[in-house]
Amino acid sequence: MHSSSMTIKGQITIPADIRKQLDLHPGDKIGFIIEDSHVVLFRKETNIEAAFGICHPKSSASLKDIEDAINKRGGNAGG
């Protein structure tokens, strides 16, 4: 387990081995999520290409399927 002290300004130092594991560098953006009274820290990606491939659809749909679904909900898929 790692620990760090918080400054009066609310700043903390992320231990070097954690920075290395997360590939953190000066200027990187850090995200925080609270889960059951714990804080999860993660490196935020600012490059959209870095997110490519992280979402995996459970099924696929053809253009016709998509247009049918839009029309069924009262939309106008034709423009």
Q: What angle do CA 27, 44, 6 make, to 5 degrees?
A: 65
Q: Tokens at residue 56, please?
A: 């995996």
Q: How far is it, in rounded angstroms, from Cα 18 to Cα 21?
A: 5
* Contact between 42 and 22 (Cβ < 8 Å): yes
Q: Along the 79 residues of the chain, how does pLDDT read in single tens digits?
A: 889 999 999 999 999 999 999 889 999 889 999 999 999 988 887 766 666 676 777 888 899 988 998 888 876 655 5
Q: How far is it, in rounded angstroms, from Cα 49 to Cα 54?
A: 10
Paired with 40 in beta bridges are 33
Predicted confidence at residue 78, as pLDDT, reads 57
Amino acid at 53: G
Predicted confidence at residue 26, as pLDDT, reads 93
